[in-house]
Every structure is written in C-alpha cells, then in structure tokens.
Amino acid sequence: MWMIFSGLIVGGLLGFVMQRTRFCLTGGFRDMYVQKNNKMFYALLIAITIQSIGLLILTATDIL
C-alpha cells in the first residue's frame, strides 16, 4: 500500500515540476529539427538515464 501511495506522490510532484518547467517532448523534437536546439533532447536523455539507474537500484535491492 505504501508503494502505491509513494508512487502517487512522486508522480504528482514530477508532473507538477514538468508542467511548470514546460517539459514538452513534442516541442523538444520540433526544436531539435527546426531550430537546431538540442537542449530538450539532452534533458530527455538525462531523464531516461536517471530513471534507468533508479530502476536498476530498485531491482538490485529487491524493492521492486
């Protein structure tokens, strides 16, 4: 039960932060091709890397 509750809290916080910082995948890919601006693409790569490392840690410690 605590995992569901903590997942809802973390998901809500991440959603709030992503909305406030205008983290938009569609706009990021558009800017990458149209304006040659790779900032959002790098942010996406960093987010995927952090998520992968976190999942690796959770599975290695048998939490997940």
Q: What is the pLDDT of residue 25?
A: 81
Pairwise CA distance, residues 51 & 48, whole Å: 5
Pairwise CA distance, residues 48 & 50, whole Å: 6
Give 1-50 pLDDT, tens digit per residue. 888 898 899 899 988 988 888 878 888 888 888 998 898 889 889 989 99
- Residue 45, φ and ψ in degrees, nearest 5: -65, -40
Pairwise CA distance, residues 11 & 37, whole Å: 28
